[in-house]
Amino acid sequence: MVDLNGRVALVTGGGKGIGRGISSALAAAGAAVAVNYATDRPAAEGAVADIIGSGGRAVAVAGDVGSPDDVERLFEQANAALGPVDTLVNNAGIFSFQPFEDVTPSDFDRIYRTNVAGVFFTCQTFVKQLPAAGGSIVNISTSGISNHAPGSALYTSAKGALTTLTRVLANELGSRNIRVNAVAPGATDTDGARDLGLINDENVARAVATTPLGRLGHPHDIGQVVAFLVSQDAAWITGDVIFASGGLR
């Protein structure tokens, strides 16, 4: 059983989908969890209520990770409520799938502001307030960095940048006892994916047929991997990308 007692985690976009699965898994292992949201306050508060109802500690913290000023404030909120954050999960992100030639400059700016710049500046702020004992960062990538699906140029290139950032930071921050890893989920059944029409009969059949374990992932599947990676059980792992994808590459 992973033990995160005494740890304080911030999960960006932690109120729904994969983020909620991660928040729940960290809390179940004993961490106090700051559940970040940008706009969906009810979802974040629902995640917090579930954690508290199960005997854990959690708080909802507002902030758009694409805004450096918001990032500063959300760490201040988390620190005031739970103590210094020693575990960061960069889960907040925006989906965008379209033919390469249809990507507009505003599409590009929107995706890279949240999915790349947001992670970069959130990591910077995390390190500034991190206790001297060190901590752990997990960035949520995608199995698309391996299978290179048509129509995913914008989204997957942003996640590719995130993967490279993970490895650079692992090298740069290792001497300060900060471990940095990434998790690459495969096709995962979330409300957000359903709202975007990504979870439909055709796509599910294709995903199941190409996934060796023969099913879609669930947020809990990803949460368990993240909980392991930030724990002392994974103390010798940094700079790695773990595919939590049922074997899908």
Q: Domain residues of the chain, as ranges?
A: 8-244
Which strand ranges, in their side-by-side order, compose the sheet holding 87-90?
Answer: 58-62, 32-37, 8-11, 87-90, 135-140, 178-185, 241-244
- Beta carbons within 8 Å of 76's beta carbon, 6+ residues apart: none
Give me the pLDDT at residue 44, please: 98
pLDDT for residue 196 is more than 80: no
Distance (Å, rounded) from C-alpha 238 to C-alpha 168?
Answer: 11
Concatenate the DSSP letters of all residues of 88-120 into one string: EEE---------GGG--HHHHHHHHIIIIIHHH
With H, G, I as helix, E, B as strand and everything else as coil, classify residue 248: coil
Q: How confident is the model at residue 199 (pLDDT cuts 50, 70, 90)?
A: confident
Q: Look at domain 8-244 and name its CATH class.
A: alpha beta
At 179, give phi and psi (nearest 5°): -95, 140
Catalytically active residues are: 155
Give me the pLDDT at residue 192, please: 74
pLDDT in tens, 149-170: 888 899 999 999 999 999 999 9
Give me the pLDDT at residue 154, please: 95
CA–CA distance from 56 to each of 83, 110, 186, 221, 241 (Å)?
15, 35, 29, 20, 29
Give me the pLDDT at residue 93, please: 93
pLDDT in tens, 202-221: 777 888 898 999 999 999 99
pLDDT for residue 92 is more than 90: yes
Distance (Å, rounded) from C-alpha 156 to C-alpha 147?
Answer: 10
Concatenate the DSSP letters of all residues of 148-208 into one string: --TT-HHHHHHHHHHHHHHHHHHHHHGGGTEEEEEEEE-SB--HHHHHTT-SSHHHHHHHH
Strands 58-62 and 241-244: what pairing?
Answer: unpaired
pLDDT above 70 coverage of the chain, percent: 98
Distance (Å, rounded) from C-alpha 161 to C-alpha 98?
Answer: 19
pLDDT for residue 140 is more than 90: yes
Give me the pLDDT at residue 224, please: 98
Give me the pLDDT at residue 197, please: 67
Distance (Å, rounded) from C-alpha 143 to C-alpha 131?
Answer: 32
pLDDT for residue 85 is more than 70: yes
Distance (Å, rounded) from C-alpha 92 to C-alpha 115?
Answer: 7
How deeply is 129 buried, as exposed, middle or buried, from its count of CB atoms within 10 A (0-12, 13-18, 19+)?
middle
Alpha carbon distance, N-terminus to C-terminus of the chain: 28
Give me the pLDDT at residue 151, please: 87
pLDDT in tens, 13-66: 999 999 999 999 999 999 999 999 999 999 999 999 999 999 999 999 999 999
